[in-house]
Amino acid sequence: MNGFAGSRYGAGAPTRPPGAARAAGLRLDGEPRFAWRGVMLDVARRFRPIAELERFVELLAAHGLNVLQLHLTDDQGWRFEVRAYPRLTEIGGRRSQSQLGHGPRSTLDGIPHEGSYTQHELRGLVRFAAERGIRVVPEIDVPGHAQAILAAYPEFGVGGADAVRARVAEPWTRYGISDEVLNVEESTLEFVGTVFDELCEVFDSEFIGIGGDEARKRLWREDPRTQEFMAERGLASEDELQSWFLQQIADRLRGRGRRVVGWDEMLEGRDPAPDAVVASWRGPVGAELGARLGHDVVLCPDLWTYFDYRQSDAPEEPIPVGTVLSLEDVATFDPVPSDAPEWYADRIAGVQANVWTEHLDTRERLDYAVFPRLGAFAEVAWNGGPLDWAEFSERLPGYLGWLDEQRVDYRPMAGPRPDQQRPGVPGVPRDRADRLAELARLTANL
Ligand code: ACM
C-alpha cells in the first residue's frame, strides 16, 4: 500500500464492485488494485452542460471508477465562475469560432462556442458525484495554457497589459499550445491564489489540479522583467521559475489542507511540492522520477489512455489524431508489470484515462471516443492489467448491449457508422515510433 492509500481517497473510495458493473457485463474482481481510478474530461475546449456531466458521472460509477478530473481552463476557454474575477467567464468563457480538424489543412468553423459553470452548479455536481462514489478533482491549468485568462485580464501576462492586448484578442480559436504564460508578479500570484481559494470553497477534493503542463518558456526567456525576477531569486532557468511558481500555489493549497496534482512537467526544474501527485502522461520517465522522489503517481500515458487518439488506422475514423489506440490496446495496458521494482510499484496510486475534446464537440462524439474503450480501461483500473483479450472479447457483446440500453453512442467494433464519420475534416495521424521519439525528446530535461 502506498501513502496515497491512507489518504481520503484510499480510505473513502468504494472497495466493492458496483452492482451496475455486473449488469454491464464488466468483470471487476474483489478489492480494487488501484485507489485512483480516474477519467479526466476537458470541458475547457468543449463546454458540456451539467446534465451531461451528471450522465457521465453515472457512467463512470457504473464502471467502478472513482475520480473525475475536470479540466476547467485552457487556452481556448475558462469555465469556472470566479466571483472576484467575473471577466474570466464573461470574456474567457467565449470564443468566436473553433478550429475544424487538425494540422496544416485545418480551418475555422465560424461558430461561436461558449459556456461556464456557476459555483452553485458545481457544488451540486460534487454532491451528485459523491453520492455515486466519484470524487471530482478540479483543475485550473497554470502557468501555461493561459490565453483565456489573458483575454480577460491582460495585466497578468508577460510584457504588460498593452503588449498582451496586442497579442491576445480572445480565447484561442486554434488548437495546440499557445505561447501565452502568466507573468510572475506578486499581483498575479495573488490573483491565482484567489482563484484557487474560490475553487477550494466549491470542491471538497483533497486533491486540486494545478496543471503545470506544456508551459511555453519563450516569453519568460525574452522578457527583461522576468529575467530580473529570476536573478533576484537565484532561479537559474525558466524551468526553475516554473517550479517556483507551482511551489507558491502548492504551499497555499497545503495551508488549506489540500494536495496538488500536476502533470509530469511539474518535475522540470526543482521538485515544487513533496506531497504532490504526479500525473504521468509522457511515457514512463515522469512516473519513474516521481516515484523515485517519493511522489504518489497516477499513470495516464498517452499511448494507452488518451481517448481522443484514433481507434483504428482506417480512413473512416473521424478527425484522426495521435497514435492508434484500439480497444484491444487499452485491454493490454499493463500499468505496473509484475517485474516492476517495489520502490516503483508502491508509489503508483492509480490510472487515469484522459479525454481531450478539441475534436469532440457533441455528446455523441464524446461517447464515440470514450466507449467501449472505457470498459477495458475500467477492468484494468480495478483488476490491474493486462486483460485476457480473448476472454474480454467473449464478454464484449454483453457490454455493448448494456451500452445500447444506456443510449451510449459508442464506436461499433466494425468502425464508425456514416453519421459518426467526419468526411473531409482533416486530422494528423501519428505513428508510434514517431511519437516515442518525440516523448524521449520532451522528457529529456526531467
Ligand atoms: C497534456 O496532455 N497536456 C497533459
Residue 48 reports pLDDT greater than 60: yes
Residue 9 reports pLDDT greater than 80: no
Measured in angstroms, how far is the CA atom of residue 281 from the centroid of ligand 1? 7
Average pLDDT of every residue of the chain: 96
Helix (H) or strand (E) holding 402: helix 389-405
Distance (Å, rounded) from C-alpha 116 to C-alpha 79? 4
What are the angstrom distances between the C-alpha of 12 and each of 7, 206, 291?
8, 11, 23
Model confidence at 238, pLDDT cuts 50, 70, 90, reads very high
Residue 81 reports pLDDT greater than 50: yes
What are the angstrom distances between the C-alpha of 376 and each of 118, 144, 310, 396, 410?
34, 33, 16, 10, 13
Distance (Å, rounded) from C-alpha 195 to C-alpha 189? 10
C-alpha cell at 18: 458496483
Count of residues in the chain: 446
**50 alpha carbon, distance to own chain's centre:** 18
Residue 4 reports pLDDT greater than 70: no
Distance (Å, rounded) from C-alpha 106 to C-alpha 96? 16
Q: Please, what is the end-to-end C-alpha distance for the chain in angstroms?
A: 26
* SS3 state at 167: helix
Residue 3 reports pLDDT greater than 60: no
Distance (Å, rounded) from C-alpha 47 to C-alpha 45? 7
Percentages helix, strand, coil for the chain, rounded to the nearest 5? 40, 15, 45
Report the candidate in 40, 101, 107 with the shortest Cα–Cα distance to residue 74: 40
For 361-406, write each residue's pLDDT tens digit.
999 999 999 999 999 999 999 999 999 999 999 999 999 999 999 9
Neighbours of 312 (CB within 10 A): 15
For 107-127, write each residue's pLDDT tens digit.
999 999 999 999 999 999 999
Report the candidate in 257, 307, 300, 249 with the shortest Cα–Cα distance to residue 279: 300
Residue 343 reports pLDDT greater than 70: yes
Q: So what's the pLDDT on residue 11?
A: 43
Per DSSP, what are the bridge partners of residue 351? 37, 299
Distance (Å, rounded) from C-alpha 350 to C-alpha 36? 4
As annotated, the active-site residues are: 74, 145, 214
The alpha-carbon radius of gyration of the chain (Å, integer) is: 21
DSSP for 46-98 reads S---HHHHHHHHHHHHHTT--EEEEE-EETTEE-B--TT-THHHHTTTEES--
Q: So what's the pLDDT on residue 1?
A: 33
Does ligand 1 have an atom closer than 6 angstroms to the CB of 442? no
Distance (Å, rounded) from C-alpha 407 to C-alpha 377? 20
Measured in angstroms, how far is the CA atom of residue 179 from the centroid of ligand 1? 15
Helix (H) or strand (E) holding 152: helix 147-152
Q: Indicate if the alpha-carbon torsion angle 281, 20, 17, 125 is positive or negative.
A: positive
Does ligand 1 have an atom closer than 6 angstroms to the CB of 213? yes
The strand pair at 348-355 and 296-299 is best described as parallel
**237 alpha carbon, distance to own chain's centre:** 26
Residue 244 reports pLDDT greater than 50: yes
For 15-43, write each residue's pLDDT tens digit.
678 888 999 999 999 999 999 999 999 99
Question: Which of 73, 142, 213, 430 most suits a substitution to test ligand 1, by most atoms within 8 Å of the C-beta?
Answer: 213
C-alpha cell at 372: 467501449
Distance (Å, rounded) from C-alpha 118 to C-alpha 104? 36
- Give the whole-number percent of the chain exceeding pLDDT 70: 97
Does ligand 1 have an atom closer than 6 angstroms to the CB of 263? yes
Does ligand 1 have an atom closer than 6 angstroms to the CB of 309? no
For 302-339, write each residue's pLDDT tens digit.
999 999 999 999 999 999 999 999 999 999 999 999 99
Distance (Å, rounded) from C-alpha 49 to C-alpha 117? 8
Measured in angstroms, how far is the CA atom of residue 60 from the centroid of ligand 1? 21
User: What's the rounded mean pLDDT across residues 247-259?
Assistant: 98
Query: Do residues 98 and 76 make contact, with C-beta atoms less than 8 angstroms apart?
Result: yes
Q: What is the 3-state secondary structure (H, E, C) of 298-344?
A: EECCHHHHECCCCCCCCCCCCCCEECCCCHHHHHCCCCCCCCCCHHH
For 188-229, write each residue's pLDDT tens digit.
999 999 999 999 999 999 999 999 999 999 999 999 999 999
DSSP for 269-294 reads SS---TTPEEEE-SSSHHHHHHHHTT
- Quick one: which atom of ligand 1 is closest to the CA of 306? 2
Whose C-alpha lies nearest to ligand 1, atom 1?
213
* SS3 state at 298: strand
Q: What's the pTM?
A: 0.97
For 167-186, write each residue's pLDDT tens digit.
999 999 999 999 999 999 99
Q: So what's the pLDDT on residue 52?
A: 98
Query: Do residues 339 and 318 make contact, with C-beta atoms less than 8 angstroms apart?
Result: no
Does ligand 1 have an atom closer than 6 angstroms to the CB of 281? yes
Question: Which of 69, 263, 280, 303 most suits a substitution to test ligand 1, by most atoms within 8 Å of the C-beta?
Answer: 263
Residue 47 reports pLDDT greater than 90: yes
Whose C-alpha lies nearest to ligand 1, atom 3?
213
Does ligand 1 have an atom closer than 6 angstroms to the CB of 214? yes
Q: Indicate if the alpha-carbon torsion angle 316, 301, 278, 348 is positive or negative.
A: positive
Measured in angstroms, how far is the CA atom of residue 240 from the centroid of ligand 1? 20
Which domains are present in the chain?
Answer: 37-442 (3.20.20.80)
- Quick one: which atom of ligand 1 is closest to the CA of 300? 4
Does ligand 1 have an atom closer than 6 angstroms to the CB of 306? no
C-alpha cell at 209: 489540479
